Structure 1
Amino acid sequence: MPQIEDRPSFIIESWTLYVFGTLILFSRFAVRFKTVGWRGLQGDDFFSVLVLIFYAVDAFTVHLIYYLGTNIEAGVAAKTHTLTKDEINEYETGSKLELAAWVVPDPGEKCSFKMQNFLVTTVLNVLTDALILGIPMPLLWKLQVPFRKSVSPPLPKSAL
């Protein structure tokens, strides 16, 4: 196999996350079908089907790239031993699959791993999570229920 890094736990983690994600989407579909039926489906329901399709393609592509490798590992492998025709073909296929996430031109490590990029991403993720959790707050304030019960519905969502 051409991959340089052999970490089977990565594939297990990838497919486990895929299973959880699809279970959540299928449970969403089941609830929607039960509540509104086929005729009551809206645009977000069809978008969820599209998400499911792209998620499956993504999981499958990650799996293939892990086992087939990419041209990044080919340089290291070429220095350690002569590549066979099969290995070259596998690297070629893996490199073509990698085009799904290609960045042109390559920004390089100096740009890719800047602390600013991580800080901006983190701040925006936390901010959007807080805003999403804040959406039901005006409704919860109007309810005549104890504070403990009004706060509990958003808590499971904050863990996601």
Structure 2
Amino acid sequence: MTNNVESWTLLSLALAVIIVRVGVRWKLVGLRNFQLDDYLMPLAGIVFVAETVAAYLVVADYGGLTNSYMTDEERAALDPDSTEWADRVAGSKIQVVGWSLYVTILWLVKFSLTVFYSRLTTGLQGLATRVRIAWIILGVTYVATELSLLLSCQPFHAFWQINPNPGIVCQATHSPVYVLVVVILNVLTDVYLLSIPLPLLWKVNINLKRKIPLMALFSGAAFVVAAGIIRAVTISTAGMDGAAAGSKWACRETFVSIVVSNLPIIQPLIRKAFKKIGLSQLFSSSGKQSGQTYPLSSRGLTNMTGNRDAKKSKASSAAPHTMQVSAWGSDEHILAEPDSSSKDITVISETFVRSEVWAGEPETSVQKTTSSTPPKEWSSRFSAHQ
């Protein structure tokens, strides 16, 4: 009973986080400007409901029984017309369904994060390419994982076969194919997604007090990796309780995945909460600059060579190129990677700084800046508005 209460509680909290995320996005960009990730995350919530129901049925209706953890003698002695036989068959079928739902949720969340990162890295050299590679990796690994789950046991009905022994690969509760393939591909894809924002945040020229919350905000996948590994170990060592333990940890991992992946989206509310308790500096967009020049992206850089007239000509053509910059509380933002390789570069940029109003906060004034000094190091903060 305790396990069931926990599963339904985690589901409720996850759905609440998704609802908050939708509300934040609706307020900031409007329903018409919703992007693909704004639909993928609610879809993940719907699949989470189905996964929780499946986990509940395995424990509550079928006593956690499957075609696993039985000796050949026990299989031969079990009456095909008995309630235990029927429960083991039904429990085994739900295990196959539950594994598929579990994988689908995790990859929906990964795809949602990839869409989010694609907006943040618009115009940044290298990072946009990593995001495109992420789409390929996620597509291939999802198909590979699902095919491994569904095709590892042949004929398919052997997944719920009781007697004779169908073999360990047909025992979905603790099949090595299920456990190893899922945990390995899940961990590898999460690590790759972490490699997109974290190196960028580590290199930016901001003080450590602001850098740590930013990195924590985008490193939630580390908790998902830990939960996935714990689940695999638990299934492999739980013995007769493997079905119940696996279902319980699937719900836990799904919950963690949904919550941490939505934290960067709902950060305006997080910032507001920190402000109320006197910790607004952790998420403050104000503060002294480091003395460096901040171009918006590689598209805003103009390589100036030749005589002075040529520089003025190129500067006049580059000046109209503008991008919007916004602080915490805006739609999305990112801190661009410093580029120390550029030496003979002059920046001529026209920047409009704007921040959406959030819950009564004063709107940031508009300012225009122009720089013509070759900087030693580059970094930027900009908003990828839809």
Matched residue, 1:59: 52
Aligned counterparts of 2:195 and 2:90: Cα–Cα separation in 1 = 46
Aligned counterparts of 2:24 and 2:89: Cα–Cα separation in 1 = 44
Aligned counterparts of 1:21 and 1:54: Cα–Cα separation in 2 = 12
Matched, 1:47 2:40: yes
Tell me by how many angstroms 1:10 deviates: 2.2
Matched residue, 2:28: 35
Question: Once the two structures are aligned, what percentage of the paired residues are identical?
Answer: 23
Misfit runs of 4+, over 6 Å: 87-92
Matched residue, 2:180: 117
Alignment of 1:121-140 (within 5 A): 121=183, 125=187, 127-136=188-197, 137-140=199-202
String of CA shifts for 1:25-51, please: whole Å, max 9, x gaps. 122111111111111111221112211
> TM-score normalised to the size of structure 2?
0.30
Aligned counterparts of 1:51 and 1:151: Cα–Cα separation in 2 = 29
Matched residue, 1:22: 15
Aligned counterparts of 2:86 and 2:16: Cα–Cα separation in 1 = 35
Matched residue, 1:155: 216
Structure 1: runs of 5+ lacking an equivalent: 1-7
Distance verdict in 2 for CA 1:60–1:35, change over 3 Å: same
Structure with the larger helix share: 1
Could you tell me which amino acid in structure 2 is paired with residue 27 of structure 1? V
Structure 2: runs of 5+ lacking an equivalent: 100-148, 160-166, 225-386
Matched residue, 1:5: none
Distance verdict in 2 for CA 1:36–1:71, change over 3 Å: same
Matched residue, 1:145: 206
Matched residue pairs, number? Answer: 144
Matched residue, 1:4: none
In terms of mean alpha carbon deviation, does 148-157 or 32-41 score higher?
A: 148-157
> TM-score normalised to the size of structure 1?
0.63
Distance verdict in 2 for CA 1:130–1:146, change over 3 Å: farther
Larger Rg: 2
Secondary structure, counterpart of 1:39 in structure 2: helix
String of CA shifts for 1:24-80, please: whole Å, max 9, x gaps. 21221111111111111112211122111111111112212222215549x87x86x
Could you tell me which amino acid in structure 2 is paired with residue 17 of structure 1? L
RMSD over equivalenced CA pairs, Å: 4.0
Matched residue, 1:108: 168
